[in-house]
Structure 1
Amino acid sequence: MISQDFQDALTSEFTDGPENLIWKKRKVLKFLRESFDMDVAFISRFTQQERVFEEVDSRPGLPSTINRMDKSPLEQGYCSRIARNQCPQLMTDAGADPCVADLEETKAFPIGGHISVPIVMSSGDTYGMLCAFSRTPRPDLKARDLAVFTLFAELLGRDIETLALQHDVDDHLLQEMVNEAGFFLHLQPICALLDQRIIGYELLTRFPAHVGLTEDVFARARLLDQKVTLEERIAEHTTDVLDRLPKGLFLNMNFSVSSLSDLDFARLFPPHHRRRLVLELTEHERVTDYDSIGNRMAELRAMGFRIAIDDVGAGFSSFRHVLKLRPDVIKLDRSLISEIHKSRPLISLLTGFQNYARFHSSTIIAEGIEHASEIAALSGLGIFAGQGYLLGKPRPYREVLG
């Protein structure tokens, strides 16, 4: 009988939309690693000279041997040899196989059972490899196991190619924009609701008209797996903003789950800036492992950062984020704010949020405030802070801070 996890991985995970691509890869890797009792599973992408480890799923508790977005010379690994049919796709004990005995990977750490299949585009070009291995020999691995990996590689290849065709991605334009920092930083004020004094700002990114709208640019970056690179580049350019920011004010910055997990925040932000930064977890990417992201948030808090959940109320997952991750700041979506003064159910819901925030020592910021009546209703509930066009529109940061 086919397990429900197997059916889910074959069907529900393969839906359209660039925002789902990374999530799909991670779900497939986790399923394959756990189902076949492997220690590491990964998806690699080939460039002309390198293989890039796009996604990696490792057995919890084991020392990390491969990390997401690591790179290595293409000719020095298992992947290129298997892709060229120079080595078998299934090896029950790779460490004893003469085909890979000369490779540094074989010598550096033990590799026993190994399955690796190419992800091939309709043109015949090899995108990369879907691979999993264990640290001990696996004589139980059979051809039927290889067939499962092959099926998933075909589905991933179809998905990657379909998305690229659907969105007609201009990789060169995006890469040029990232390399040249072709974006603009704006600030929108966050205000205390009682007296409407500015207590902080949210950093927002804008792009030239020929590049596209902000939402479209980030969607394109997600599709090309450039989102972390783009968010890192934006973070690198906030030093001037933080240096100009008046004492006593904080700065909110948006980051995806992948960026929060992968970026070197100690390098990006010196200690004297961290206490003023609130890192907002955005809704653009699913959280698949709350334990892992929770541990990462604990690390970031220990470094001095505060954590916020953005757009709470815009979807069910944002409520789950609040319950699982217990953020320092809860940012309520506009959908919970609009005409709150006329809605007793909304007042009741926000009262619950306020009680939750008090119990967990969190701060609530109401987003999208457009009417004075909304400020009055929110203040009456004890909600301290808010932002929106009524309180201040986004403007270039040099114009705001001088």
Structure 2
Amino acid sequence: MVGTVESGARVIEPDRKVTDLLDVLRQHLGMDVAALAIWQDRQLVVQLFAGDGRSFGLVPGITIRNGGELYRDVQDERIPMVSGNAHGYARARHSSALDELDVGAYAMTTLTDGRDEPYGLLFCLTHEACPTLQERHQQFVQLIATFLRDSLLDLREMWQTRSQIWSAISDVIDSGGPGMAFQPIVRLDTGEVGAVEALARFSARSGGRIRTTEEWFRDARLVGLSTELDLAAIRRAVAVIPDLPPGLKLAVNASPSTVATVLGEFVKDLPHRDRLIIEITEHENYTAGPETVLAVGHLRDLGVRIAIDDAGTGYSGLEKLVLLRPDVIKIDQVLTRGIDVDPARRALTAGLVALAGEIGGTVIAEGIETRTERDAMLRSGVHYGQGYYLGMPSPSLVPRTPAWVGVGPSWRRAP
């Protein structure tokens, strides 16, 4: 009954009242699962469910195999809308879609939206036969369908919007990932470039709207493609390592979920992984749970260095520093901005430098845009930085010498 995952329903985040209504239906009929599926391109695609859908192979976005046949059978009343014994009822066995599941009993009805447009199916399933389930129970299923009518308009619009997002991101992934620009990470006292960070670059306009890079990754999380987009970007970035100047390291960004799930498997087969720095980003909220700590340890065992991005922006960020003990701590530009005139920012930065010293890490300041910010970072004990003053992102793999090299600060400090 189930087949491939489609682009639509996996991205649905409906009003809570929809899932609440499904749960009311499931409990009232004593069923294992109640689900809602949309009729799309002559197929039925599950949007959401309440209860134990996975035991039937149902997940959001899954296409119901032979769902088109099932939908027409229900519309034409070739199978009963309710059956307390699906295995023993000949007309129910006639449906190949139902026959592929271990369905002991079911109840269903067609759905129309608030404009009386055909929408899909509302159905309940249970593994065991249910002798108490009678045809009259379909009236309750239809009652729930009536309550859902207005919500289905919102669901349809949401489906269409999110499907467009899914398609746009899928196109980027299928084309080999986003483009890349490379920004130098520079030693602040000498201008020597120690690494470059690979920054994803997307077409500004896609699907009729303009997206920033941050919005591309946010939308990928929204439609369940965060890990896929992460890996596509990382794959595109690491392909340039052999072309980098000797000794230069490459920093790439990865979400916490990518780090905790699939990144180790990807990295283990990479050559030159000793030149790789994984920056764990703040694109998504996360806590450094055991799976993340284990994954970070595995990456280190493979020779990869770990960086924590946007450090110094809250208690949770400090907690991650303590638990993950990164090789590189990247100070958020929030601390960099105005550090030359703000003693509080300098004190916080000095604290991060002290922490890095205790765990054997290196500190990199992000967002340095002026000479005075660079000098203030040096005074605070930070020896590496990144920002427009130090070097703009560029498609070139060969970093340019910063214009300020040779113009030292007004004081000297041993590196």
TM-score normalised by the chain length of structure 2: 0.60
> Deviation string for 1:280-319 (max 9, x for gaps)?
22222222xx36x5423422432323332222245x3752
How many pairs align? 372
Q: Which moved more, 1:303-312 or 1:187-196?
A: 303-312
Instruction: Confirm or deny that 1:302 pairs with 2:298.
Output: yes
- Aligned in 2, Cα 1:168/1:72: closer, same or farther, shift over 3 Å? closer
Partner SS, residue 266 of structure 2: helix
Of 174, 180, 205, 2:200 maps to 205
Deviation at 1:22, TM superposition (A): 8.1
Of 180, 183, 187, 2:178 maps to 183
- Aligned in 2, Cα 1:346/1:175: closer, same or farther, shift over 3 Å? same
Deviation at 1:394, TM superposition (A): 0.4
Equivalent residue letter for 1:344: P
Equivalent residue letter for 1:201: V
- Aligned in 2, Cα 1:239/1:326: closer, same or farther, shift over 3 Å? closer
Paired with 2:170 and 2:339, the residues of 1 have a C-alpha distance of 43
Aligned to 1:276: 275
Asked whether the equivalents of residues 267 and 273 of structure 2 are also in contact (C-alpha less than 8 Å), the reply is no
Paired with 1:386 and 1:169, the residues of 2 have a C-alpha distance of 39
Deviation at 1:119, TM superposition (A): 12
Matches within 5 A, 1:305-384: 305-314=304-313, 316=314, 319=317, 322-323=320-321, 325-328=323-326, 329-384=328-383
Paired with 2:339 and 2:330, the residues of 1 have a C-alpha distance of 16
Equivalent residue letter for 2:187: A
- Aligned in 2, Cα 1:244/1:51: closer, same or farther, shift over 3 Å? farther
Matches within 5 A, 1:44-83: 74=65
Aligned to 1:238: 237
The two structures, once aligned, show a CA RMSD in angstroms of 5.9
- Which runs of no fewer than 5 residues in structure 1 stay unpaired? 1-20, 29-39, 57-64, 88-93, 137-150
Equivalent residue letter for 1:296: T
Equivalent residue letter for 2:255: S
Deviation at 1:343, TM superposition (A): 1.3
Equivalent residue letter for 2:297: R
Asked whether the equivalents of residues 163 and 223 of structure 1 are also in contact (C-alpha less than 8 Å), the reply is no
Percent identical among aligned pairs is: 25
Deviation at 1:24, TM superposition (A): 7.6
Partner SS, residue 341 of structure 1: coil
- Aligned in 2, Cα 1:308/1:270: closer, same or farther, shift over 3 Å? same
TM-score normalised by the chain length of structure 1: 0.61
Equivalent residue letter for 1:322: K
Partner SS, residue 393 of structure 1: coil
Paired with 1:43 and 1:213, the residues of 2 have a C-alpha distance of 31
> Deviation string for 1:301-350 (max 9, x for gaps)?
32323332222245x37525535643412211111012212211111111
> Deviation string for 1:128-165 (max 9, x for gaps)?
9999x9999xxxxxxxxxxxxxx99x999958955966
- Which runs of no fewer than 5 residues in structure 2 stay unpaired? 1-9, 18-32, 50-56, 80-85, 129-146, 401-415
Partner SS, residue 340 of structure 1: coil
Paired with 1:268 and 1:352, the residues of 2 have a C-alpha distance of 32
Q: Which moved more, 1:265-274 or 1:229-238?
A: 265-274
Asked whether the equivalents of residues 259 and 295 of structure 2 are also in contact (C-alpha less than 8 Å), the reply is no
Deviation at 1:192, TM superposition (A): 1.9
